[in-house]
Amino acid sequence: MSKNTWQDQLTVPVRVMQIIVLALASGCATFAVIVIVLNLGGQEGPEAAQPDLLVITYAALAAIVPMLIAFFVLRSIWNSQARRLVIKAVDEASGESSDLRPTQWLESTKIVSMLVPVFQTRLIIGAALFEGTAFFLLIAYMVEGSIIALVAALAVAVGILLQFPTRSGVAGWIEQQTEAVRNQRQFSR
């Protein structure tokens, strides 16, 4: 009989996160198909769009920058939150666990069950930022017919898929957070 490790706890939550990411990406893909079909079926098409009238397209393209800034800032905030949870879990554990290696912290405390929801929240917010921007770009394409908006929307939608979580990726992130706390504690002594 094999011993369950903390990484075994990740299987179900990671599967849920994978489904969420695929659902967000498929929503963008479905809307993209609808918008493309609508633009092909009777509207004047992208050639009719005047460059000086692409206000929505330019606004949607400009929205990519704050989306990326928010994405990275929020990831940093959630990483800080994760580290605070690690510190709390280690402090609540027995005094000897603070002298253990971070991988032993994971076995001896409830760190994993505390960090998985943080990772999931971080993932959902990040993917939703990309999804909202992709929808904005697709609406710009639908209204103005600018192929630039369509290409940008597809690129942003790929950004959702690039966030697709794996068990090893989530485990690596959890280990990274515990290692960062361990390093922080060593330097503060």
Chain segment 39-54, per-residue pLDDT in tens:
887 555 555 555 567 8
- pTM value is 0.82
| CA 1 to centroid of chain Cα atoms | 36
Closest CA to 60 of 130, 126, 134: 134
Confidence at residue 14, expressed as pLDDT on a 0 to 100 scale: 96
Q: How far is CA 8 from CA 74, 104, 174, in A?
A: 27, 15, 13
- pLDDT tens digit string along 69-126? 999 999 999 988 888 888 877 777 655 445 556 566 666 567 788 889 999 999 999 9
Provide mean pLDDT across the span 131-152: 95
Q: How far is CA 75 from CA 11, 43, 68, 82, in A?
A: 22, 41, 11, 10
Q: Predicted confidence band at 151 (pLDDT cuts at 50, 70, 90)? A: very high
Confidence at residue 43, expressed as pLDDT on a 0 to 100 scale: 53
Q: Are 168 and 114 in contact (CB under 8 A)?
A: no
Confidence at residue 42, expressed as pLDDT on a 0 to 100 scale: 57
The DSSP symbol for 3 reads P
CA 99/CA 105 separation, integer angstroms: 9
Provide mean pLDDT across the span 119-137: 96
Rounded to 10°, the helix 111-144/64-92 angle is: 170
| CA 41 to centroid of chain Cα atoms | 35
pLDDT reading at 180 higher than 70: yes
Percent of the chain with pLDDT over 90: 58
Q: Predicted confidence band at 1 (pLDDT cuts at 50, 70, 90)? A: very low
Q: Are 162 and 24 in contact (CB under 8 A)?
A: no
- CA triplet 96, 98, 103: central angle to 5 degrees? 105
Q: Are 160 and 54 in contact (CB under 8 A)?
A: no
